[in-house]
Amino acid sequence: MAPGAASAVAVGSDAVPCRRLAGAVIAVALAAPAACGGGGSDGDDAARPTTTATTAPPETTTTTAPATTTTAPFDPATLRPPAPATDPVALAGQIAAAEATIRQQGVAAPDLSAAGLAQQVAYRQLGDHPKWDAAVLAALAPDLQPVASTHAAARRDLRALTGSPSTEMPAWRIQAPAPAADLVAWYHEAEAASGVPWQYLAAVNLVETGIGRIHGLSTAGAQGPMQFLPSTWEIYGEGDIEDPHAAILAAGRLLAANGAPGDMDAALFSYNHDNRYVRAVSRYAELIAQHPGAYAGVHAWGIWYWTTAGDIYLPIGWESAEPVPVDQYVAAHPSGT
């Protein structure tokens, strides 16, 4: 994260606009991403990527942007998000089913990827419907109630960073992330070198660019899967700013130089000067630490982009060389496919 840049919360890999004074893209997902250089990954940004990242208001609709790649036998680019549940009890069922698959040992890759995307959809929906909280939690098993509450709180914090919906589609490429096993190994390597708990590095990666799905500059010029400004990369980076291994190690150095692991709040605030960002990343880190399958779930989260036409899902393979007005884009892709 480079101080002084704008980012897009991908979390969730939701792409939505969010303002960042620290210099990264808030993707998440969070769930959607979403990234502050684009629209959230489960995400949220000042530029707009996705994570996560961000969710559109309940009344908006979700469209799917066209994918440009297809491969066999199993290609994550072919996955599409399921429709969100439309009432609290059904939503609790969607959450429970997704969580059960994610927490199960030995799940096949296609099933795990589909469950992760379904999980993201469900928590996006819960985040957008705070009035459903009591009913959803009451319908969930006791062990899932704090998990759902934490996901919803993280999403709402990132959503609060969002400004207005974008009038333009982003100049991004949505790419497949590095394999989860490789990323976890690199997070652990960075933890060993810097002392920063690996779950925080994973959560930053999730919120910034949807774990590397969003490829593009933030409005402030931040780059790479951990969204560094070139000037900050000169201080903390080694090698290629776009390389996830190098970027994760650099993020560990930056966070350690700003208080981690002793004061993670201060370290995260240095990455993005907003307490909502600090809380959201910390919550995702907590969730990832809770059980072995949690990271595999968020690794499957996709990217949404919040626009004046509603949330538009950007699958792996989606690409635009330049910003395109949303109304022009929607007119050219009325079916969203």
Interval 198-243: pLDDT, tens = 999 999 999 999 999 999 877 778 999 999 999 999 999 999 999 9
Average pLDDT, the chain: 82
* pTM attached to this predicted model: 0.83
Is the pLDDT at 335 greater than 50, yes or no? yes
Interval 133-157: pLDDT, tens = 999 999 999 999 999 999 999 999 9
Q: How far apart are CA 44 and CA 13, in angstroms?
A: 9
Is the pLDDT at 115 greater than 80, yes or no? yes
Q: How far apart are CA 177 and CA 200, in angstroms?
A: 18
- State residue 203's pLDDT score: 98
Question: Binning pLDDT at 50, 70 and 90, where does residue 334 land?
Answer: confident
Q: How far apart are CA 312 and CA 143, in angstroms?
A: 32
Eight-class DSSP state of 48: -
Higher-confidence residue of 161 and 42: namely 161
Q: How far apart are CA 255 and CA 196, in angstroms?
A: 7
Higher-confidence residue of 79 and 286: namely 286
Q: How far apart are CA 55 and CA 50, in angstroms?
A: 9
Angle subtended at Cα 200 by Cα 276 and Cα 41, rounded to the nearest 5 degrees: 65
- State residue 336's pLDDT score: 63
DSSP-based three-state secondary structure for 63? strand
